[in-house]
Structure 1
Amino acid sequence: MSDITRIDAGPRMSQAVIVNGIAYLAGQVGAEGGTVTEQTAAILDKIDVLLAKAGTDKSRVITAQVWCADMAADFADMNAVWDTWVAKDCAPARWTGEAKLATTGYKVEIIVTAAL
């Protein structure tokens, strides 16, 4: 049986869970109402912090799920921020989709998994 480590655990969810050498991060969002650029930058900053707490970093990200509230309006701006963040020669497998997010103020949500 593997040990499970929970990071920033609350009554409903943990911000990250580590099992079998993999860190699974919860979906991260930025401040409601900001631009997609601002929200994406804030999300990636949160991801960096959580990855550090887990003992890893963005160069070890295996997969990323990106959810945009409006792909037609926001995909290019989100990608512009993403492209400056992703570690050189370490791009993860990534998929992006459009979804209705938790509130209308959220434009982007990003979920990643990373190897330790």
Structure 2
Amino acid sequence: MSSIQRFDSNSRLSRVVVHQGVAWLSGIVAADCSQDTRSQVRQVLARLDDLLASVGSDRSRLLSTQIWLKDMVADFDTVNEEWSTWYEGSPPARATCQVTFDDPDIRLELIVTAAT
């Protein structure tokens, strides 16, 4: 039986779970949600880079991405611009949807699955 590794865990969640060469990352939001959408996207992508590196992966190994946006109409183009600048190569499977966050300052949350 393969081991399951859990990283940065608390009583509610693990920030990253790795099993059989696949890493699942829980939702990532900006550290400073008082910033505009572009800044929040950059913060989230930088945090994603750090989390992937912590388990021996990187952005080129993304398998699936879910982008949750507060306002699809207002933020979709900005998110896509930042994503296209950040991500090069063969893109992962991706879905984007509009959601209501518990904190009104959060503009986006990113959830990914990656190969390690």
Query: How high is the TM-score relative to the length of structure 2?
Result: 0.95
- How do residues 1-116 of structure 1 correspond to structure 2 at under 5 angstroms? 1-30=1-30, 31-86=32-87, 88-116=88-116
Runs of at least 4 residues off by over 4 Å: none
Structure 2 runs not aligned, ≥5 long: none
**What displacement does 1:90 show?**
2.3
Counterpart residue identity of residue 11, structure 1:
S
Instruction: Supply the distance in 2 between the matched residues of 1:82 and 1:102 (Cα, whole angstroms).
Output: 24
Percent identity, aligned pairs only, is 38
TM-score by length of 1: 0.95
In structure 1, stretches of 5+ residues that fail to align are: none
Aligned-pair RMSD on alpha carbons? 0.9
Q: Shift of residue 36 of structure 1?
A: 0.7
How many residue pairs get aligned? The number is 115
Cα deviation digits, residues 38-74 of structure 1 (max 9, x gap): 1110000111000001111000000000000000011
SS in 2 for 1:43: helix
Partners in 2 of 1:79 and 1:46 — Cα distance? 17
In 1, Cα distance between the equivalents of 2:10 and 2:102? 18
